[in-house]
A and B are shown apart, each in its own frame.
Chain A
Amino acid sequence: MSVAVTIEAIEKRFENFPALRGVSLDIQPGELVALLGPSGSGKTTLLRLIAGLEEADRGRVLFGETDTRDLSLRERRIGFVFQQYALFKTMNVADNIAFGLRSRPRDARPDAAEIRKRVKDLLELVQLPGLDKRYPSQLSGGQRQRVALARALAIEPRVLLLDEPFGALDAKVRKDLRAWLRELHGRTGHTTVFVTHDQEEALELADRVAILNDGRIEQVGSADDVYDHPATPFVCEFLGEVNKLPVKVVGSQAFFDNRPVLGGLTQNQGGAAALYVRPQHLRIVDETPLALPGTVEHLRRNGPLRRAEVAIDGLKKRLDVDLASQVAPAIGERVKLRITHGNLFAAA
């Protein structure tokens, strides 16, 4: 049932705005892929192109071996869940879910009893049994979202596309639905692509994440790949908080202010570079080698962790440091920081 989706060198512009400039992506059958990026990065356009709601200026999308340009919207068999759900408000839940089945040509249309059974099964699948007679205006946001998903699944889609599926929901419902969607995907195994601007959501849910910026894919990989080994500074910044340190690379060592701060580097040409370090990869240490001296200027709470802002001698911007379980330093205290992990990019 599930099908591979191959995106080949897609280009698309709206009037004078280049939305996509050469995007290629291979999606395996049954894979759950996130398109992650800021607004305007082209992720929604890419999703709509896969669906056939937009036509590419160049390039093509294949479902398996089939070029989708030869397929009508109906023939594509796409399950699409819109950001604002796009439920039909003058139809009740059952009629919404049955709409796709009833839209089939007469010879392929299931009979009324079969449709009723399918609607019932789908409502159970999305954990909304008994709500079939309700109208969309009588449902909560999370319920509407699940009805939209049931409606999309009703046509037995070859590919499931979700546009910011949790964008309009509040934080608590979002988290619940996330876990539920992951589990549902595990059970149904549809090739699934979803768009999000929330990196946490993408990393938690997806088998692979494609990070888009300015109409291009910056990196594709598993959550661990992209988080631990970001291919570009953009990816590194987009996936989480990061401190930037201008360094000079000599041999296998990075120097800041003529002081070695990180060793064991490979594959570097040397010269000026930017070292990206996440707050959790800075540790307050006692010993001097490979350490940055600085002054604690501010302390604050950041979720479960405490966070120190440390002013480094010779650096304008303070560094954010996550304090694990250790005893917190006092404001004004001199400390030494050790970088445990960092990503090195050629200086801009």
Chain B
Amino acid sequence: MSDATLPTAAAPARRETGRARRESRRVQFVLIAVSLAFLLFFLLLPLATVFVEAAARGWEAYRAAITEPDALAAVRLTLLVAAIAVPFNTIVGIAAAWAIAKFEFRGKNLLISLIDLPFSVSPVIAGLVFVLLFGAQGYFGSWLQAHGVKIVFALPGLILATVFVTFPFVARELIPHMQSLGSADEEAALTLGASPWRTFLTVTLPNVKWSLFYGILLCNARAMGEFGAVAVVSGKIRGETNTMPLHVEILYNEYMGPAAFAVASLLAGLALVTLVLKTLLEWHYGDAIAASRRH
């Protein structure tokens, strides 16, 4: 067509859902009601209960429960464990994503499956494996004892167990995103003379920063909230090896319900912050976070 410029009107971006794709109003209403009821009983009530029970004895009791020395020690320990486990898994996650997303090699699918493995291992077993290795009767138990090193029932054990259960989080978010981006940007930077590190820091990382942040966020939430794995390796020594979730358990088992819920409310607050950040990330960078819907 030599010179015929056709008048084109902007078509509607998304056609209304045609009537052949809709259920009747009554069916829609029933399904929505069922969904809301299900969420009410299994999600919203438990969440609300935490805050209601925490506030049951008033502000003073709440303040006392979260500022007593054992509670503060638990908060400190939880932050410390997360401060070590999360950066460790972040670095390993980035390394794993780099190797898997940018290179083709044999055994790649096996490696991906192995990285995901901790997801299908009970947290209790994640703790157990370290007790079996480093506990008093463990493979390295007597050697460690002879050298005065304490891993189980001490900070290193808590960290190891936490690293185990949060191992896949960062890699899991980064791999699909990096795979979808391909290697063209890095190849361009390298051919322009940038050093490998510079390429990585100025090209690769900025490209995937939101999915990286997303992975770190989920990793951190799990690290701070982990219960089963740390319960096994902690020994639950008050003020020493008690993380916040373990402290909640001890208080609850000692029939100090309101205090347990007070500490629990801090963790629930953390969960809400995580959810809000996660949701904001998904709304704004949903396309970048390739695997956002997988967890």
Name A residues whose Cβ lies closer than 8 Å to a Cβ of B. Answer: 14-15, 17, 19, 38-41, 48, 52-55, 73, 213-215, 234, 237-238, 240-244, 279, 317, 320
Is the contact region of chain B dominated by helix, strand, or loop, or is it mixed? loop
Interface positions of B from 5 to 21, Cβ below 8 Å from A: 6-12, 15-16, 18-20
The number of inter-chain residue pairs (CB within 8 angstroms) is: 53
Known: A53-B20, A54-B18. A40 touches B10 (CB 8 A): yes
> Can you pick out 26 interface pairs between chain A and chain B where the beta carbons lie within 8 Å of each other?
A15-B12, A17-B9, A17-B10, A17-B11, A19-B12, A38-B6, A38-B7, A40-B8, A40-B10, A48-B18, A53-B18, A53-B19, A53-B20, A54-B18, A54-B19, A73-B20, A214-B7, A214-B9, A215-B9, A237-B4, A237-B6, A238-B4, A240-B1, A241-B2, A242-B2, A320-B2
Assuming the A-B contacts A17-B12, A39-B8, A213-B7, are A241 and B1 also in contact, with contact meaning beta carbons closer than 8 angstroms in the complex? yes
Let me know if A14 and B9 touch, CB within 8 A.
Answer: no
**Known interface pairs A54-B19, A73-B20. Does A40 touch B11 (Cβ–Cβ under 8 Å)?**
yes
Flag if B6 contacts A55 (CB, 8 Å): no
Decide: B9 and A41 in contact? CB cutoff 8 A. Answer: yes
Is the C-beta of B3 less than 8 angstroms from some C-beta in chain A?
yes
A38 / chain B contacts, CB cutoff of 8 Å: 6-8
* Chain B: number of interface residues, binned into ranges: 10 to 19
Please give me the residue from chain B that is nearest to A18 by CB atom: B9
A41 to chain B: which residues have CB within 8 Å?
A: 9
Q: Which chain B residues border A317 with CB–CB below 8 Å?
A: 3
- The minimal Cβ–Cβ distance linking A295 to chain B, given in whole angstroms, is 18
Apart from A15-B12, A73-B20, A213-B7, what 13 extra A-B contacts exist at CB < 8 Å? Answer: A14-B12, A14-B15, A17-B9, A17-B12, A19-B12, A38-B8, A39-B11, A40-B9, A52-B20, A55-B19, A215-B9, A237-B4, A242-B2
Question: What is the distance, in angstroms, from A229's C-beta to the closest C-beta of chain B?
Answer: 18
User: Which residue of B2, B6, B16 contacts A14 across the interface (Cβ within 8 Å)?
Assistant: B16
- In the complex, how many angstroms separate the beta carbon of B185 from the nearest chain A beta carbon? 33
Determine the distance from Cα of A213 to Cα of B16 in the docked complex, in whole angstroms: 21
The residue in chain A whose Cβ has the minimal distance to the Cβ of B1 is A241
Chain A residue with the shortest CB-CB distance to B9? A40
Say yes or no: A242 contacts B4, CB within 8 Å: yes
Q: Which residues of A have CB within 8 Å of B15?
A: 14
Q: Report how far A215 CA is from B10 CA in the complex, Å.
A: 12
Q: Mark B6-50, 1 if CB is under 8 A from A, else 0.
A: 111111100110111000000000000000000000000000000
| Residue in contact with B7 in the complex, picked from A14, A52, A53, A234, CB distance below 8 Å | A234
* Alpha-carbon gap, A331 to B213, bound state (A): 65
CA distance A223 to B176 in the complex (A): 52
A15 to B18, CA, bound (A): 14
CB distance from B15 to the nearest CB of A (A): 7
CB neighbours (8 Å) of A238 from chain B are 4, 6
Please measure, in the bound complex, the distance between the C-alpha atom of A163 and the C-alpha atom of B9, giving whole angstroms: 19
Measured CA separation A237–B7 after assembly (Å): 11
Complex: A41 Cα to B16 Cα, angstroms: 17
* A141 → chain B closest CB, angstroms: 24
Measured CB to CB, the nearest residue on chain B to A234 is B7
Min Cβ gap A297→B in Å is: 14
Complex CA–CA separation, A243 to B1 (angstroms): 10
Residue of A nearest to B3 (CB): A317
Query: B16 — which chain A residues lie within 8 A by C-beta?
Result: 14-15
Contacts of A48 in B (CB 8 A): 18
Task: Give every chain B residue within 8 A of A244 (Cβ-Cβ).
Answer: 3
| CB-nearest residue of chain B to A45 | B15
Please determine whether B4 and A241 come into contact, CB atoms closer than 8 angstroms.
yes
**B195 CB to closest chain A CB, in angstroms?**
47
Q: Which residues of B contact A214 (CB under 8 A)?
A: 7, 9
Closest-CB distance, B20 to chain A (whole angstroms):
5
Instruction: Output the least CB separation between A279 and chain B (Å).
Output: 8
Q: Shortest CB–CB separation between residue A211 and chain B, in angstroms?
A: 12
Residues of B within 8 A of A54 (CB): 18-19
Alpha-carbon distance A14/B19, docked complex (angstroms): 14
Q: In the docked arrangement, what's the CA distance between A328 and B289, Å? A: 61
CB distance from B36 to the nearest CB of A (A): 28
A320 to B1, CA, bound (A): 11
Residues of chain A lying within 8 A (CB to CB) of residue B19:
53-55
